Structure 1
């Protein structure tokens, strides 16, 4: 199914600039000056402006690094999405320029500590997913993330991936942890050129997922999980759409063709596309948010349609 003018018109109609500039760049292939002009508006209006205005004087959001300052980890509240790391991830993925957060990196170095052992913010902690997001956010804001990237070299498991539970003794990699680790390493390479060892472990991590066709057990070939229901924001959770989006970005960076081992996963993504070319959301992630950025369960999602359309177009 080709990208139709009606689909693009629906995506653009009343859309936040955070989504609009990506439609212009990735689906309409507008000249760079066009989509960059739209991207510049992200910090000045809509989602980006709202989230920037919620930043505290200490550089943090909600007074915490990964969790809000008032979050009770012993309670039964779902994970909140309002603290500093999640705010930075959203702003970065929406396309906010680092200049809009001038001084933030220094403020976080001075004021923000991880909930795990009170470790300094830009030094990372022990969780692979958290450390990967920190690498991505750090290189975006101009922080030297070389030591953080090397951390992934040192903590790669024998099967080629990563597991956030390594500190508890896990020896087998996790789909979730591996994908998030790969995202951080790719962002590091794109921003800095990387290093031979970082590229090596990134390619080995990609092999971990590709050998499993993005969703299967290596031992039996059975699906590990459904992973074909999608939500936006993607968060840390694994899905074949989340993985395909990563492999699209990696292939473009490496100037390589799509790997055929993704074919079954891509069919699962395409199977979720509706007759009008859209994707519907499985619902919102539970947990506190500053404000909602996508529709409710069962409704057509512009965000998921953007992600789905561009990976299918790349694959096709």
Structure 2
């Protein structure tokens, strides 16, 4: 079985993106995308929604929080909706529209009791609300203005308040960038959004996606281990896939990051899952760390196709 055949043997959420990004098969992609809400992971996630519109009874946190030693729970509404976005569920699908409407109308954030689409005051939940709202066609101009106002002096974002840190976090910055890219696709061009994204991209590129600007050392070894779903965590593959998604030409400063991606390909042509984030999850999408990962393989292959096609 070829790597492409192996990918196409996966869930509809994998298949439609393989057809779109690797096979240039828009008709096949559309047919598989239509299945995401009705079969496999997407359908299973939609079936978990509660009558109050939430998943697990809360916005960021489930109603019943587990022991902190068990890790961050990923079962709350924000994480499930973001997972549906990553699966590429059709936002126009009738069951999807009904589910997100119930969530937007019924779920409120834990800190401040704001409606879901308003987000909270910090960049992580605000970016999540923007990403989900923009993907599903909501007007997110107000939350975007708040996110832009929360930029740090170096051009990125930090989910800690400015009083605690004026320096950006790559975790917070990649989440904000992904949200702004989804917002950018949903509207006419806005200069302020373009400028903010350019500045944040420069921050990533100056660091080669993983190095300290001051010493040249790797900021965090976890950045070099690829996970899916990433949740709020940054890694090099996630950053590369974001840059690819913007349609920007590859930058020469990405050469070492690309070499890192290539180094992880196995003799079978696949990429493994490396860094599953601890905590309760709504669904298990992969076979575990060290095993071949369809998500990492798909994303690595489309990043390399982008790089090599420049």
TM-score of Structure 1 vs Structure 2, range by shorter chain: over 0.9
Name the CA distance, whole Å, in 2 between partners of 1:264 and 1:300. 23
Q: Is the 8 A contact 2:73 2:281 kept in 1?
A: yes
Other-structure match for 2:31: 37
- Name the residue aligned to 1:121: 116
Matched, 1:206 2:201: yes
Task: Give the structure-2-normalised TM-score.
Answer: 0.94
Distance 2:187 2:34 in 1: 23
Q: Is the CA contact 1:61–1:84 (under 8 Å) kept in the aligned structure 2? A: yes
User: 1:194-245, CA deviations, whole angstroms, 9 ceiling, x for partnerless residues?
Assistant: 4111111111111111111111111122211221111211221111101000
Query: Is 2:104 aligned against 1:93?
Result: no
Aligned match of 1:132: 127
Shift of 1:12: 1.6
The one of 104, 112, 118 aligned to 2:107: 112
Structure 2 match to 1:49: 43
Q: What residue in structure 1 maps to residue 287 of structure 2? A: 295
CA distance in structure 2 between the aligned counterparts of 1:39 and 1:108, rounded to whole angstroms: 22
Rounded Cα–Cα distance in structure 2 between residues aligned with 1:219 and 1:299: 35
- TM-score, length of structure 1 as denominator length: 0.92
Please say if 1:232 is aligned against 2:216.
no
Asked whether the equivalents of residues 61 and 82 of structure 1 are also in contact (C-alpha less than 8 Å), the reply is yes
Q: Which residue of 2 aligns with 1:64?
A: 58
CA distance in 1 between partners of 2:159 and 2:65 (Å):
21
**Kindly tell me: are residues 45 and 257 of structure 1, through their superposed partners in 2, closer, same or farther at Cα, counting changes over 3 Å?**
same
* Structure 2 unaligned residues grouped into runs of 5+: none
Give the CA deviation at 1:127.
Answer: 2.6
Distance of aligned partners of 1:131 and 1:310 in 2 relative to their CA distance in 1, 3 Å threshold = same
Alpha-carbon distance in structure 2 between the residues aligned to 1:260 and 1:284: 30
Pairwise CA distance, 1:292: 0.5
Equivalences, count: 305
For 2:171, the equivalent position in structure 1 comes to: 176
Whether the aligned pair in 1 keeps the contact of 2:108 and 2:116 (CA below 8 Å) is yes
What is the CA–CA distance in structure 2 between the aligned matches of 1:86 and 1:314, rounded to whole Å? 28
TM superposition shift of 1:168: 4.7
Classify the secondary structure of the residue corresponding to 2:296: helix
- Mapped partners of 1:207, 1:283: distance in 2: 26
User: What corresponds to 2:71 in structure 1?
Assistant: 78
Structure 1: gaps (5+ residues): none
**Conservation of the 8 A alpha-carbon contact between 2:287 and 2:293:** yes
Q: Per-residue CA shift, 1:96-130, capped at 9, x if unaligned?
A: 12233224454334321111122221111123122
